[in-house]
A and B are shown apart, each in its own frame.
Chain A
Amino acid sequence: QQQVKQSPQSLIVQKGGISIINCAYENTAFDYFPWYQQFPGKGPALLIAIRPDVSEKKEGRFTISFNKSAKQFSLHIMDSQPGDSATYFCAASKGGSYIPTFGRGTSLIVHP
């Protein structure tokens, strides 16, 4: 059973465009939602995270939107750049241990 569903599997965006990646979760006990960025040959790196007490969190060009009632959250990358080309993973975890359950990942390609 996939507890965190991520879409799309792949995404191609032009430079300057907006990249949107969506995730949905099932377990209402989840209360911490991080996004990770992974470049080829590297490990995942924490990009931005949100807790369910807020509906949006912005850090630079990266924004997480969170809808608690729909059990959905999304990552928006504004003014996408070729350097943003990577695989993005959403995750969800329960407070205390913060052990993440990952989505399957989205491969983002930003064309110059």
Chain B
Amino acid sequence: DSGVTQTPKHLITATGQRVTLRCSPRSGDLSVYWYQQSLDQGLQFLIQYYNGEERAKGNILERFSAQQFPDLHSELNLSSLELGDSALYFCASSVTDRGDIQYFGAGTRLSVL
């Protein structure tokens, strides 16, 4: 167990809808990272937060947004969902903003029908 908790494990929704994925980092970790894993694109970095502030941005669509709260948990919001958004979404955390050692959660599997 990595200590990173993601909820829900599975999410089934329809096109055009909006969903929120939640991540609780390991105790003491200040950085949270979001990744998307799909058959088409592989494993891709979306966005990083460090102690509540956005630190780095990757291939994140404008329809997607994230935030990190004062208790350090993070949420990834996906809106106007399309079929192609179906993927595994992983959250990872690290102690500092230096992400050389990241601990991944078990992921949320999103199915857009």
Task: Say yes or no: A43-B105 contact (C-beta < 8 A), given A34-B100, A98-B99, A99-B56.
Answer: yes
Could you tell me the distance between the alpha carbons of A43 and B56 in the complex, rounded to whole angstroms?
A: 21
Could you tell me the distance between the alpha carbons of A102 and B35 in the complex, rounded to whole angstroms?
A: 11
Q: Is B28 an interface residue (CB 8 A)?
A: no
Contacts of B44 in A (CB 8 A): 102
Could you tell me the distance between the alpha carbons of A98 and B97 in the complex, rounded to whole angstroms?
A: 9
Task: Say yes or no: A46-B106 contact (C-beta < 8 A), given A99-B56, A99-B58, A105-B42.
Answer: no
Contact B100–A43 (Cβ < 8 Å): no
Q: Is A97 an interface residue (CB 8 A)?
A: yes
- Kindly identify, within residues 92 to 113 of chain B, every residue whose CB is under 8 Å from any CB belonging to chain A: 92, 97-107
Q: Is A68 an interface residue (CB 8 A)?
A: no
Q: Is B87 an interface residue (CB 8 A)?
A: no
Contacts of A41 in B (CB 8 A): 106
Among A45, A49, A96, A105, the residue within 8 A (CB) of B43 is A105
Contacts of B104 in A (CB 8 A): 42-45
Q: Is A66 an interface residue (CB 8 A)?
A: no
Contact A43–B2 (Cβ < 8 Å): yes
- 1/0 contact trace for B51-91 toward A, CB 8 Å? 00001101000000000000000000000000000000010
Contacts of B98 in A (CB 8 A): 96-98
17 further contact pairs, Cβ within 8 A, besides A41-B106, A105-B43: A42-B107, A43-B90, A43-B92, A43-B105, A44-B90, A44-B104, A45-B2, A46-B101, A46-B102, A97-B56, A97-B99, A99-B45, A100-B45, A101-B45, A102-B44, A103-B42, A104-B42
